[in-house]
Amino acid sequence: MGSSLTFYPCGKQGEETFKETRSRLLRISGYSNCIKPKYSTFVDVIGNFLNNIHLAGADLSRIDFRGANLKGANLSNTDMRRADLSGADLSGANLRNAYLRAVDFSGADLTGADLTGADIERAYFSKANLSGTILCRTKLHGADLTDAFFGGLSFGKKNYPPANFKDIKSDGSTKWFNSRGLHKVEHIPDELNKQNNFKDAIELSQGIEYLINGNINNALTIQS
């Protein structure tokens, strides 16, 4: 029978020493980057062993987690502004209500990650995989989604306000296919509305909702 190890490098949120120790990981990581290349960095040494890590509520602003294995990690309510998560595995991670402004997610795997309520303004998602990612109540102002994959992404669920696309950057290479709730997104830039793949995804999203709600006739009237 397999077993798993849960890693609490900052202690558990709510414990007496949590506030004192929550920035310790950030300091260790920052120092290790200062002594490279003679020695391995923090991520080089343990980056592959951070899956399912619990860092809820921690201050991780500007941390370097490039290529780290953060699969299934609990990063809810963290402050990760300007962090480098390029190439990281964040599949299934909990990033609910995290502060992620200007984070570099380029090439990262966010498959199935939950970013409900997260602030990802001006974040960079070039070539990132957001398949099945949840972006309910997220702040996307100014985010760069160029060449990102959004297949099966959920932008909104029943009783959740939609995502906001004000000033986001995207070109025709962004994959929107089967992004549920996409038709409810607010403040879509004019240039994005002109992209055929985005318009097709909007229609598909609306059609799926009609079918789920039993509105067959309305679904049939949507042009493909």
CATH number at residue 24: 2.160.20.80
Determine, yes or no, domain membership for 214.
no
- Parent domain of 52: 1-192
- Rounded distance between C-alpha atoms, residue 175 and residue 148, angstroms: 6
Which pLDDT does position 74 carry in this prediction? 95
- Scanning the chain, the segments in alpha helix (DSSP H) are 18-21, 24-34, 42-46, 190-193, 196-212, 216-221
Q: Tell the residue number behind the tokens 């949590």, with chain if given.
A: 18
Determine, yes or no, domain membership for 206.
no
- Rounded distance between C-alpha atoms, residue 50 and residue 40, angstroms: 16
Tell me the average pLDDT across 5-23: 55
Helix (H, G, I), strand (E, B) or coil at 47: helix
Helices H / strands E in the chain, number of each: 6, 0
Which pLDDT does position 41 carry in this prediction? 59
Which pLDDT does position 22 carry in this prediction? 47
Number of compact structural domains in the chain: 1
pLDDT in tens, 118-140: 999 999 999 999 988 988 888 88
Determine, yes or no, domain membership for 153.
yes
Say whether pLDDT at 39 is over 50. no
Determine, yes or no, domain membership for 181.
yes
Which pLDDT does position 140 carry in this prediction? 84
pLDDT in tens, 176-198: 877 778 888 888 888 888 888 88
